[in-house]
Amino acid sequence: MTRLTPDMIKDVPEDKIDLDTRLLQATGKTVKGIALEAADLPDDTDLSRFKVAVVPITSGLGIISGFSASVDAIVRRLGMDSHVTKGTDVNGFTEAIREGADIIMMADDNMFIAYNMKEMKETDNSWGTAKGYAVALKNAAGGLEGKRVLVIGAGMVGSWAVRFLKDMGADVYVTDIVYEKAERLKEYGAKPLRDVMKAISENTLLLNAAPFIIPGEIIAEGSIFSSPGVPHYYDQLGRSKAKAVIHDPLEIGAAVMAVNSAGYSIRKE
Ligand code: 2YJ
């Protein structure tokens, strides 16, 4: 995950991008529906008993204005009880423990986690983002069994995505501007492709986990992009050729993290 800027997430707290409406059109599921499927929980799971505390973290490059408020809003939209702690860092963490939070969410420059306090298990953002966008692609494509899927970007999100897409039965290809990174994902059964532009032009089911602006000329007609990477931009030609572009700057990944974290407790009951 590239470092988010306040501008990228300014529409998240009030959901100005109306993500559920766009996701329902593309995938037939809401954010919550995708997160529940990603966490392997039934559609009607009630999450209201979970108390979540979001702890602002000042270390490294410091607070991103609107980050904690966005995570908090995302978690509340899932029906959980959430708030941002008054204190930051260890102060905020202690506050969350003392008030009996079930799940603590926090991020520094390298890691963004949801931590289930009772089960002592963490869910990290790369895992959650990859799982959420793989589930979204699967639903948008009407299943992936035997279908050819291209993962763009062989970083943390891309390499988790390869594994999830393989589990869904897809025939997975991977490309990266650093070919050696793509090649390493052979380990998980992905087929590496050296020519990034050619790979994109020859595939219609794509999970774009790279900070890469894809020119419309190379996009194949009818493509479905599940696209967590930021910066995010598809030009007018690309948008007109694509059947669906699934993207948000934070919500799907954070929602999967929170729901999967709750899942550790739910599955124990
Ligand atoms: O609490 C805050 O406001 C900040 N410390 C949030 C920092 C958010 N972190 C990022 O944007 C990192 N790039 C996250 C890396 C996650 C890796 N999957």
Phi, psi dihedrals of residue 220, rounded to the nearest 5°: -80, 145
Whether the bond into 231 is cis, omega within 30 of 0: yes
Q: For residue 1, report the distance from its CA to the centre of ligand 1, in Å.
A: 8
Domain membership flag for residue 137: yes
Domain membership flag for residue 171: yes
Same domain (yes/no): 199, 259: no
Domain membership flag for residue 83: yes
Q: For residue 113, report the distance from its CA to the centre of ligand 1, in Å.
A: 9
Residue 60 CA, closest ligand 1 atom number? 5
Position 38, amino acid: A
Q: For residue 15, report the distance from its CA to the centre of ligand 1, in Å.
A: 20
Same domain (yes/no): 158, 194: yes
Same domain (yes/no): 48, 133: no
Same domain (yes/no): 215, 256: no
Same domain (yes/no): 179, 227: yes
Q: For residue 240, report the distance from its CA to the centre of ligand 1, in Å.
A: 33
Ligand 1 is surrounded, with C-beta below 6 A, by: 1, 3-4, 56-57, 63-64, 67-68, 107-112, 125-126, 156
What is the model's pTM? 0.97
Same domain (yes/no): 61, 106: yes
Domain membership flag for residue 63: yes
- Which segments within the chain are labelled E, that is strand? 51-55, 81-84, 103-107, 112-116, 121-124, 148-152, 171-175, 191-193, 205-208, 224-226, 244-246
Under 8 Å CB-to-CB from 98, ≥6 apart: which residues?
none
Q: Which of 58, 106, 108 to mutate to test the pocket of ligand 1 (most atoms within 8 A of CB)?
A: 108
Q: For residue 253, report the distance from its CA to the centre of ligand 1, in Å.
A: 12
What is the chain's pLDDT, residue by residue, as a tens digit (269 residues)? 578 999 999 999 998 889 999 999 999 999 999 999 999 999 999 999 999 999 999 999 999 999 999 999 999 999 999 999 999 999 999 999 999 999 999 999 999 999 999 999 999 999 999 999 999 999 999 999 999 999 999 999 999 999 999 999 999 999 999 999 999 999 999 999 999 999 999 999 999 999 888 999 999 999 999 999 888 889 999 999 999 999 999 999 999 999 999 999 999 88
Q: What is d(CA 261, CA 163) in angstroms, rounded to the nearest whole number?
A: 20
Same domain (yes/no): 142, 216: yes
Domain membership flag for residue 1: no
Same domain (yes/no): 226, 211: yes
> What 3-state class would DSSP assign to 33?
helix
Same domain (yes/no): 61, 139: no
CATH of the domain at 108: 3.40.50.12150
Q: What pLDDT score was predicted for residue 1?
A: 58
Same domain (yes/no): 148, 109: no
Same domain (yes/no): 241, 152: yes
- Overall domain count for the chain: 2
Same domain (yes/no): 105, 117: yes
The residue segments making up the domain with residue 112 are 6-124+251-266
Domain membership flag for residue 14: yes
CATH of the domain at 146: 3.40.50.720
Q: What pLDDT score was predicted for residue 3?
A: 86
Residue 61 CA, closest ligand 1 atom number? 5
Q: What pLDDT score was predicted for residue 212?
A: 84
